[in-house]
Structure 1
């Protein structure tokens, strides 16, 4: 078990990110991930100062712009989740 006290979804998203997968592949010689290697990953704690409602509004806007960009590029923009 870990002693992480933040949102576990935050860690899950980061650990599943392509960027950290790339970083791990460039710094590791095998596919075994030790606790020390996970602790060495550059994962910051975030203390939000933006109110929850504003963060939700900004996230919705970012999602809208993302799908708009997919549609403009002709890249499966209609599959919104």
Structure 2
């Protein structure tokens, strides 16, 4: 189990910057899309608006909790400090 945690930790840590950038970008784009749909009138239904909002919140939460996942997978012999 320790070996799997170590491999996952190093993989997630390697792609942290790219992953966080992608999640934040997608979250922002979906939030912008949600705001645009609010002014689109009746052409876009409530279900589609809520779906866009859910994707925005979901990608934001994934970016937020990604660091917590990395910290939980951290091997015992590693000192780790994550900066924004």
Give the TM-score normalised by structure 1: 0.33
Q: Decide which structure has greater helix share.
A: 2
Indicate the structure whose relative CO is greater, using CA pairs within 8 Å and at least 6 residues apart: 2
Give the TM-score normalised by structure 2: 0.32
